[in-house]
């Protein structure tokens, strides 16, 4: 078929209508597959426009996670660098743990994704529980295990966002 024949075929009104119908059907099919049922829409609709979170660029999440991990490391490195030989051998004292908890609580996680924020807040809570145990309100060995477990979860969630190099 030559170009002229092809162009003439497209001038045929029957082909134009058939082509338009196919295009409309394809658009309908694509739109229909992307729209949840009315029951799902009602349950996932935010209560108010203020509750709706704007879409976030993944790079923003990655930068925020890296920042939180870097701050956490800085607190840990700075705190452990100033330990006496006895504290290094015997473990942290209560004042050191209290300082760590205060500094960890001050880290802003607002720009982090919700799952990372939750994991990191659990980690800060674990440090707080460890401080309470050091002050005589619980088992320090259990609290230490909780700190380690929550730090592992922080690592796991960060890795879901492709961050593994900042965690080591």
Domain ranges across the chain: 3-48, 53-160
Q: What is residue 100's predicted lDDT score, i.e. its pLDDT?
A: 87
Q: What is residue 99's predicted lDDT score, i.e. its pLDDT?
A: 87
Which has the closest alpha carbon to 91: 140, 149, 145?
A: 140
91 backbone dihedrals φ, ψ, rounded to 5°: 110, 175
Q: Is the pLDDT of residue 113 over 70?
A: yes
What value, to the nearest 5°, has the Cα angle with vertex 165 and ends 162 and 168?
A: 125
Which DSSP string do the residues of 20-85 spell out, in sequence order? HHHHHHHHHHHHHHHSPPHHHHHHHS-SSGGGPPPP--HHHHHHHHHHHHHHHHHHHHHHHHT--H
pTM score, whole prediction: 0.61
Look at 111 and 23; give whichever has higher pLDDT.
111
| 161 to 12, 118, 147: CA distances (angstroms) | 53, 15, 22
pLDDT per residue as tens digits for the range 44-55? 444 444 454 555
Q: Is the pLDDT of residue 9 over 80?
A: no
Sequence-ordered list of residues with C-beta below 8 angstroms from that of 155, at least 6 positions apart, any chain: 167
Q: Burial of 113 by CB count in 10 Å (0-12 exposed, 13-18 middle, 19+ buried)?
A: buried
């Amino acid at each position: 078929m030559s170009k002229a024949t092809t162009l003439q075929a497209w001038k045929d009104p029957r082909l134009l209508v058939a082509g338009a119908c196919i295009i409309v059907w394809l658009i309908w099919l694509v739109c229909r597959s992307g729209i949840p049922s009315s029951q799902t829409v009602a349950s996932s609709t935010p209560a108010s426009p203020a509750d709706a979170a704007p879409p976030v660029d993944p790079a923003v999440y990655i930068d925020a996670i890296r920042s939180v991990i870097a701050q956490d490391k800085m607190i840990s490195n700075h705190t452990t660098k100033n330990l006496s030989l006895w504290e290094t051998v015997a473990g942290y004292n209560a004042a050191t743990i209290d300082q760590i908890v205060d500094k960890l609580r001050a880290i802003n996680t607002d720009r982090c994704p919700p799952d990372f924020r939750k994991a990191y807040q659990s980690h800060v809570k674990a440090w707080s529980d460890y401080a309470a145990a050091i002050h005589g309100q619980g088992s320090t060995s259990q609290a230490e295990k909780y700190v380690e477990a929550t730090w592992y979860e922080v690592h796991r969630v960060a890795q879901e966002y492709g961050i593994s190099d900042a965690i080591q």
